[in-house]
A and B are shown apart, each in its own frame.
Chain A
Amino acid sequence: MGELRLMKGNEVLGEAAIRCGCDGYFGYPITPQSEVMETLMQRQPWNETGMVVLQAESEVASINMVYGAAGAGKKTMTSSSSPGISLMAEGISYIAGAELPCLIINVQRGGPGLGTIQPSQADYFQAVKGGGHGDYKLIVLAPASVQEMNDFVDLGFELAFKYRNPAMILTDGALGQMMEKVELADQKPRWTDKEIHKISGDWATTGKPSSRKKNVITSLEMDSDIMEANNRRFQEKYKLIEKQETRYELIQCDDAEYIIVAFGTSSRVCQKSVEIARAKGLKVGLLRPITLFPFPNAIIKELARKTKGFLSVEMSAGQMIEDIKLAVYEAGSNARVNYFGRMGGIIPTPGEVVDALEDKFSWELNYGVKRSY
């Protein structure tokens, strides 16, 4: 059993970074995630593991520092919150285009614009559909507990290096600020130069010895035929990630007639909603996507064939619902897909979700059959 502590989600992100052998963190303060860098600065990991922590002049600089260090084969990360992630979008696109492994954390707050510092899930589209320019995908992990905030740092790096692709932890201000019991991992050593050579030696810019060709990190290619081939290769990689890395959790879905789909903070709320609904005699289950890209299409297709409807519960105006609808459509099912959510930094209550479920599916609940249109 690892060391048990009571910690804030944001603090855990910093602690987990040190313990998983991260080489460098570059960031810029923004609420509600500033504790990530504060924790790192207090811990001074450069004395212990040699990890570099640097406060950059902006999020734009942070993500480009990550680009440089990741291009040298180092385990590198940054964290920010929604407006800061928008500023990083250009750099993230370059990182995806140059196929660099790194970890980006978005502790979401409500938008648009300066919005609010309260929690939100309104950056779903930005995270799973790309966010910057061009056709690319991030591997997106959605923790629902402080424990998962811890676990997904290591997992994020593992997946990023496995596929040479940026990974993102998409969380929010509630998970970042709340304290929970967490079991920390043991300290892993940072990679040695020899290990980096073995893992990334064929592409990382570590200084060219006479024994190999020069390594060049770039997303630029003026020949459209080659650029299209690069894009095809990226798409193949994303398909492979979909096939191999989809993660989700099912709660009481075996006999469920209605399935709530929710991730992160809203999935925590919905666990209680399932209990309330079950106590009322409603057969309700919860599907919690753990990876948002890859999205758990296959399980939704399977569930769509035997359930009456889905309720997408989001702290946004309804973004993930589009992916659920696509999966239901692909399944050839006529299960209904509804949305309930709150915006602007409001977290829905369990009771609200149950009320919404009863309201949106009132036809089915009253008549026992699907409503046809």
Chain B
Amino acid sequence: MELKDLIKPENLVYEKSKLQEDEIMHYCPGCSHGVVHKIMAELIEEMDIQNKTIGVAPVGCAVFAYKYIDIDWQEAAHGRAPAVATGIARLMPERFVFTYQGDGDLASIGTAEIMHACNRGENILVIFINNGIYGMTGGQMAPTTLEGMVTATTPTGRNVELNGFPLKITDLIAQLPGTSYVTRQAVHTAAAVRKCKRSLKKAVQNVLDKKGTSFVEVVSTCSSGWKMTPVASNKWMEDNMIPYYPLGDLKDSVKGENVSEN
């Protein structure tokens, strides 16, 4: 049997989502962003919500997210995506609005906006990519940078006396009664990708069902920032990031409930 005999529609096991644009991605090899983008494009297509979806892109590596998925987008100022999403969602309550933010954007400069959007229980999905570093600006310390981790602004490793502690912001978010579903996932293995997609699907459905804020953290790699190969990055993430940021649901309840389940 030759290759051309295999290439038939009935043998097709996977295809790119129609909503994924044919743009050349600017992400580095091994970066988690591409995988999460792919999942979102697939979900929006599968759930048939392209015509009601508005994405809000952050400042950070995902600043060009709007180039890659064929939906309406707004590009927010650094950290302000939850406020921008609030404006859209409040005035168009029948739409599905999500923000896509990195750790610097969400957990440093945008702390006020994310806490208050989640506390108001804005009916939005927040996707939080946590790779413990500022990728776009060249690998500086992020609020989620692990203790001892070397970055461009912590050349001898993060010193908690000087820089404070890595911020588990998702744990704080889970405490807020405005949130209904708070989970921490990863996309470094096929199994993790499938699990992350299930979580994101549930989160999207929650927003469609007007259940308040859904928040999905994705513990991610940054091969360029970490100065490792993609394979080594995945290993390093498993050995170092996931023990500090353990995967799993932090909260799965209804809006208004005051205590996280975890």
**CB within 8 Å of B: which residues of A?**
23-24, 26, 52, 54, 56-58, 60-62, 64-72, 74, 76, 90-91, 94, 98, 205-210, 214-220
Contacts and interface: CB of A to CB of B under 8 A. Distances in A.
Q: Assign chain B's interface to a size class.
A: 20 to 34
Contact of B90 (A57, A69, A209, A210): A69
Given A57-B112, A214-B73, A218-B74, A66 B95 contact: no
23 contacts: A52-B90, A56-B86, A62-B83, A64-B113, A67-B77, A67-B83, A67-B87, A68-B84, A68-B87, A76-B91, A205-B74, A205-B88, A207-B52, A207-B72, A207-B95, A210-B50, A216-B66, A216-B72, A216-B74, A218-B73, A218-B75, A219-B75, A220-B75
B51 A61 contact: no
Given A64-B84, A70-B87, A214-B73, 11 more contacts: A52-B91, A54-B86, A56-B116, A61-B116, A64-B76, A65-B84, A69-B90, A71-B74, A76-B87, A208-B51, A210-B51
A208 B85 CA distance: 16
Nearest to A95: B77
A69 B74 CA distance: 10
A65 B51 contact: no
A217 B75 contact: yes
A66 B83 CA distance: 9
Given A68-B85, A68-B86, A69-B87, A214 B71 contact: yes
B41 to A, nearest CB: 12
A125 B74 CA distance: 30
Given A67-B76, A68-B74, A72-B91, A60 B86 contact: no
B90 A64 contact: no
Contacts of A216: 66, 72-75
A65 B73 contact: no
A54 B90 contact: yes
Most buried by B among A56, A94, A207, A217: A207
Contacts of B80: 60-61, 64, 67, 91
B72 A68 contact: no
B160 interface: no
A91 B74 CA distance: 13
Contact of B87 (A26, A58, A206): A26
Contacts of A72: 54, 87-88, 91-92
Contacts of A68: 56, 74, 76, 83-88
A214 B112 contact: no
A96 to B, nearest CB: 12
A240 to B, nearest CB: 26
B115 to A, nearest CB: 8
Give the residue among B56, B91, B116 with the most A Cβ atoms within 10 A. Answer: B91
Interface in B14-72: 50-54, 56-57, 63, 66, 70-72
A68 B87 CA distance: 5
B51 A209 contact: yes
Nearest to A93: B77
A207 B51 CA distance: 5
A205 B73 contact: yes
B54 A24 contact: no
B112 A61 contact: yes
Contacts of A52: 90-91
Interface of B: 50-54, 56-57, 63, 66, 70-77, 80, 83-88, 90-92, 95, 112-113, 115-116
Given A24-B91, A26-B87, A68-B88, A90 B77 contact: yes
Contacts of A206: 54, 72, 92, 95
A352 B80 CA distance: 47
A61 B73 contact: no
Contacts of B50: 207-208, 210
A214 B23 CA distance: 14
A26 B95 CA distance: 19
B91 A60 contact: no
B93 to A, nearest CB: 9
Contacts of B113: 57, 60-61, 64
Contacts of A208: 50-51, 53, 70-72
Q: Which 8 residue pairs across A and B have the least CB separation, nearest first?
A: A68-B87, A218-B75, A64-B83, A65-B87, A68-B84, A69-B87, A205-B72, A57-B116
B116 A69 contact: no
Nearest to A208: B72
A220 B74 CA distance: 11
Contacts of B90: 24, 52, 54, 65, 69
Nearest to A61: B83
Contact of B77 (A64, A76, A210): A64
A207 B53 contact: yes
Which among B75, B95, B115 has the greatest number of chain A C-beta atoms within 10 A?
B75
A72 B90 CA distance: 11
Contacts of A56: 83, 86, 116
A217 B74 contact: yes
Nearest to B74: A217
With most chain B CB atoms within 10 A of its CB, the pick from A91, A98, A205 is: A205
Nearest to A65: B87
A202 to B, nearest CB: 12
Given A57-B113, A208-B50, A209-B51, A217 B91 contact: no
Contacts of B76: 64, 67-68
A70 B87 CA distance: 8
Contacts of A205: 54, 72-74, 88
Contacts of A23: 91
Contacts of B85: 68
